[in-house]
Amino acid sequence: MSTAGSKHSMNFTPPSLSAQRASIFLVSLMSLLHLFLAFHVELGGDEAHYALYGLMPDWSYFDHPPMVGWLQILPMWLAPYDWSARIVPIALYALLNYVLYQLTIELFCKQSSNSNWQHRQPAHDTNHWLGFWTLAVLNSCLILVLMGMAMLPDNLLMVVTLALILTVIKLLETNAFKYWIILGVLVGLAALSKYTAVTLVVSLLLVMLVEKRWIWLAQKGLWLAILIAILMITPVLYWNAQNDWASFLYQIDHGTGSAVWELDSLVRTQLVQLASYTPVIFILGWWMMLKPAHYRDARTRLLLLFALPITALFAWGSGFEESLPHWVSLSWLLLIPIIVHWAWQLRDKKWLKPLAYFHFILAGSLVLLAHSLLYKPWIPFDDHKNPIQGDYGWPQAAKTALELQKNLTDDPKTLPLFVSNWSVTSHLAWYARPQPVFITSKKQTQYAFWFGLPHAGTNGLLVVPHYEKTPPKTQKPAHFERCERLKEEPLSVNGAIVVTYYYYHCFNFTPPLPASDETP
């Protein structure tokens, strides 16, 4: 190891390899893996949903701000295929690695823990290998690696937030006017990426409070930044104004899906995060956030001030409705450099090496296992027990549905495609495009804005995977009067059924009742 005074410490720095080259090799390896899978794995539900965003661009969308769709416009226009839907997220993941490396170096390799940002002192106890190990931990977190090839609003939000924190560091150091302009643009981009970017405003206020930068309120640059951010989100405001503020109302209801806050829901959410981000990172991350001593170092404090609001938002919200693990990906991303810096300071401890081995062996094995299962579900499972069943077989299901539809009618408009749950709509809509897909549900979704609502008396061809209710509900509002099964199609791998699709010819759709007519 190149650090002086650590003769008996662990060697985390290969002598013949630079941190920069090791980092480039790691990111290149992951990018190649993602590119390979991009051509061999069908799209997941979210991926198909945002690919459809790119095919049907708009000022904004019902369930998200527009950036996740805008980024898919060019790939979808050039080549509307599964692989092209993954080009942007793969590029964003490589960029995420680069910006995270730069932020780690900026914070922990260029200054000491001196709280005076305007008089930063060089840090002599570390080197650029901190950046590499930060990337190593990032690429060992299963959920973050999987997000590296799947388009999600969080992908751009994470990149923008890291760049925003780098800009905040410059403002803490110099208060130069150009950084205020950059800050405004980045806040605007974050707001165009995901509604939870509102937590960044909370974080910026916390930075101003904790770092005692009230003088910023008198800076013209701050108000210009606010103006820039507001101007950048006008597409979202315009779309919502044209659609009865549907997106904002949906987000408010989405965060409080139940009227009762339940501890069990919070605990289940945290257990899923423990598995998704690995036990070591999960436990150490919460320790970093909860221990007051970690806020004394200006560098870790800055990252924690951006991680805490989004953690608190979803920790509380998960008591009403269980949160998906990628919803808090930004928080765990920001905790990784803190954890790595903490471990680096303790690299002489004998217990650290076994802990590092345990993490990387366990996490690395899970990452490789997950990617291999995406390529081919080779592990034997009992029928209908394979964990990938929700994202498997939809190209075949769409093909079969279109064949059945063609056998029943010469005009697809007289027998449109239906699904029984909004969560699987994107799968069928992507592989059966450009045909519309309707939902036997009263739940408002993006698809109603794209395809409209089915008329009363409509007949349809309903596609139902086995994990949905079969036979489907009938004789209820937002459902058909009756359905006749046309075909049952099991799809198997290695002799075990992964998923079974059922196809129904359904008659006389009954629209949902107006809200005022529903029985409480």
Structural domain spans, the chain: 19-374, 389-517
Q: Please give the structure tokens belonging to residue 265.
A: 């829901």
31-49 burial, b at 16+ Cβ within 10 Å, e below that, comes to: bebbeebbeebbbbbbbbb
Among the residues of 444-488, which ranges form H helices?
A: 446-451
Per-residue pLDDT tens digits for 314-361: 999 888 888 889 999 999 999 999 999 999 999 889 999 999 999 999
Model pLDDT, residue 319: 87
Model pLDDT, residue 111: 63
Taking CB atoms within 8 Å and a gap of at least 24, the contacts of 122-129 are: 125/3, 125/345, 126/3, 126/341, 126/344, 127/2, 127/3, 127/13, 127/19, 128/18, 128/19, 128/20, 129/12, 129/13, 129/19
Round to whole Å and give the CA distance between 429 and 413.
15
Model pLDDT, residue 456: 94
pLDDT above 90 covers a percentage of the chain that reads 79
CA R_g for the chain: 25
Please give the model's pTM, rounded to 2 decimal places: 0.91
Beta strands per DSSP E along 213-318: none
Round to whole Å and give the CA distance between 339 and 357.
15
| Strand order from edge to edge, sheet including 417-419 | 437-439, 417-419, 460-465, 496-510, 479-493
Cβ-proximal residues to 140 (8 Å cutoff; 6+ apart), any chain: 278, 359, 360, 363, 364, 367
Model pLDDT, residue 2: 39
Low-confidence stretches of the chain (pLDDT beneath 70):
1-16, 111-116, 118-126, 254-259, 514-520
Cα torsion through 219, 221, 222, 227, rounded to 10: 140
Model pLDDT, residue 220: 95
Model pLDDT, residue 18: 87
Tell me if 40 sits within 8 A of 375, measured CB to CB.
Answer: yes
Tell me if 394 sits within 8 A of 427, measured CB to CB.
Answer: yes
- The type of residue at 265 is S
Q: What is the mean pLDDT of the chain?
A: 90
392-410 burial, b at 16+ Cβ within 10 Å, e below that, comes to: bbbeebbebbbebbeeeee
Q: Please give the structure tokens belonging to residue 214.
A: 């009230």
Hunting for tokens 């949906």 — which residue is that?
250
Model pLDDT, residue 117: 75
The per-residue DSSP string of 392-417 comes to SSHHHHHHHHHHHHHHH-S-GGGS-E
Given 3-state DSSP classes, what are the helix, strand and coil percentages for the chain, each rounded to the nearest 5?
Answer: 60, 10, 30
Model pLDDT, residue 12: 59
Model pLDDT, residue 322: 85
Round to whole Å and give the CA distance between 420 and 472.
7
Model pLDDT, residue 13: 61
Beta strands per DSSP E along 412-494: 417-419, 437-439, 460-465, 479-493
Model pLDDT, residue 125: 52
**Cα angle 333-334-338, degrees, rounded to a multiple of 5:** 115
Per-residue pLDDT tens digits for 45-97: 999 999 999 999 999 999 999 999 999 999 999 999 999 999 999 999 999 99
Model pLDDT, residue 494: 85
Please confirm whether the linkage preceding 490 is cis (ω < 30° from 0): no
Model pLDDT, residue 378: 86
Phi, psi of 465 (to 5 degrees): -75, 160
Taking CB atoms within 8 Å and a gap of at least 24, the contacts of 242-250 are: 242/59, 243/62, 243/449, 246/62, 246/444, 247/60, 247/61, 247/62, 247/63, 247/64, 247/195, 250/62, 250/63, 250/444
Q: Please give the structure tokens belonging to residue 503.
A: 């196809």
Residue 487 DSSP symbol: E
pLDDT above 70 covers a percentage of the chain that reads 92
Model pLDDT, residue 253: 75
Phi, psi of 215 (to 5 degrees): -60, -20
Tell me if 156 sits within 8 A of 71, measured CB to CB.
Answer: yes
Model pLDDT, residue 121: 63
Model pLDDT, residue 135: 97
